[in-house]
Structures are given as structure tokens and as C-alpha cells.
Amino acid sequence: MKVAAFLFDLDGVLVDTAKYHFLAWRKMANALGFDFTHEQNEQLKGVGRVQSLEIILGWGGKTLSQEEKNHWMHQKNAWYQTFIADMNPDEILPGALAFLEKTKALGLKIALGSASRNAPVILEKTGLRHWFEAVVDGNVVSASKPNPEVYLKGAELLEVAPTACVVFEDAVSGMEAAQNAGMPCVGIGNADQLSNTIITVKGLHQITPEAIITLVKS
Ligand code: BG6
Ligand code: MG
């Protein structure tokens, strides 16, 4: 099957928003009387808002009512939104723009597949929106990664077969979502953490679209 589209995760692949999620969740944990580390934060990558809260409360040994959980998710998101309100194109990760440009020049279709409900704001602040023919984010999917919905919907909107898509992911849950969608996945980050990828690199600056297409074909 010929590669016809690239589907990109947002947080950790095109922009580094993990640091803002960390700051906001940590502020919440501190308000509840505990703390967690940068290493623990790695486990939250790609994980949706509700599940992230459950994991963090588990670390702090806290049991909250549904009403309290709703309050803290709302508060965390308000803090997070103040951080991303100041984002600008300088926060696009190294190599991402050149990679998108080459992808487009090769005639491939491009979609976004993000778990975040804040994806539209981030795309607007960083000036990335115009690269995507389809945007699938946390506002339109019902099942979070590793469910393949986000990527299958992306393929559907682009009118491309799932087998003709390649996914770019930095999180284990996202890599599994790609796998569950039947799409080859390029890992962005640590090769020890991301298995089942066709290749794992530190960032988009280390690869080219042409190299990925050759890898998929081989
Ligand atoms: C993912 C992030 O992209 O989106 C997670 O990697 C985050 O850390 C998830 O929890 C949901 O984001 P949001 O902005 O809807 O809370
Ligand atoms: Mg990510």
C-alpha cells in the first residue's frame, strides 16, 4: 500500500506542552497536600484528563467525590489555559515545520490526532492550524487513546485507507492507538519506552518524510 497520509499527535510531537500540563497538575497536587516528580509525569503523556486525575490522586493516596474531581479538573484546566495563552510559534519543536513542509511537498495529506480539548487554541497560538486538512482532538472523540478512534477518524476525514497512514506519537497510549488502528507508528522520544514503532527518534529534526516512506515500504 502506498503511503498517502501522515497523522500527527500534537503534545510532545509538534509542541512541548507536557511541561505546562505538569505545572498545572502539580499545582493541583500541591493544593491537595502532596507532590509528584517529573519522572512520574512521564506516565501522564497522552493520557486523557479524567484518567490523568485518577492516576495523580492515586499517587497522593487521595479519595475524592465526583463533585470534587470535577472541581479540580476544571481548576487544573484553567491553570493550564493561562500557560498556553502565551504560547507562540517559537514553541514548535525542532524540525517540525520543515517536516510538515516536506510532507506537503510530497503530496501527502496531513491530519492531527490529539487527545487534548485544548488543541484548537494551541494550533492557533503556534500558527500550526493551516497545515492540517483534518483536525481530530479531544472535543470530537469519545474514546481516548489507546482506542484507535482518533486516528481512524483522521483517516476517514482525509478519505484515506488506514493502511495508507503513518502515525507520529510520543506516548505509549498513542503508539498503541496507532497499532489498534492498523497504522505504522513513528516514535518520538525514548526508544526504551516506545516499542512497536517502525523507528523511534528524538524528534522530527532527525528524520525526513522520504525516509519514513522508504521504511514503511521495506
Ligand atoms: C494529551 C496530553 O495530548 O492530551 C495529556 O499528552 C493530556 O497530557 C491530554 O492530559 C488531554 O488534554 P486536555 O488539554 O484536554 O486536558
Ligand atoms: Mg503526545
- For residue 50, give the ligand nearest its CA: 1
What is the C-alpha separation between 77 and 110, in angstroms, rounded?
28
Give the angle subtended at the CA of 82 by the CAs of 81 and 83, to the nearest 5°.
Answer: 90
| Rounded distance between C-alpha atoms, residue 199 and residue 192, angstroms | 12
Listed as ranges, residues in the chain with pLDDT below 50 are: none
Q: Ligand 1 centroid vs 128 CA: distance in angstroms?
A: 18
Spell out the domains of the chain, with CATH numbers in brackets: 5-16+89-217 (3.40.50.1000), 18-84 (1.10.150.240)
Give the Å distance between the CA of 213 and the centre of ligand 1.
29
Q: Residue 116's closest CA among 91, 93, 150?
A: 150
DSSP classification of residue 143: S
Which residue, judged by its Cα, is nearest atom 4 of ligand 1?
A: 116
Q: Is 16 a catalytic residue?
A: no
**pLDDT, tens digit, for every residue of 110-132?**
999 999 999 999 999 999 999 99
What is the whole-number distance in angstroms between the Cα of residue 78 and the centre of ligand 1? 13
Alpha helices in 63-140, H assignment, sequence order = 66-84, 96-105, 119-126
pLDDT of res. 117: 96
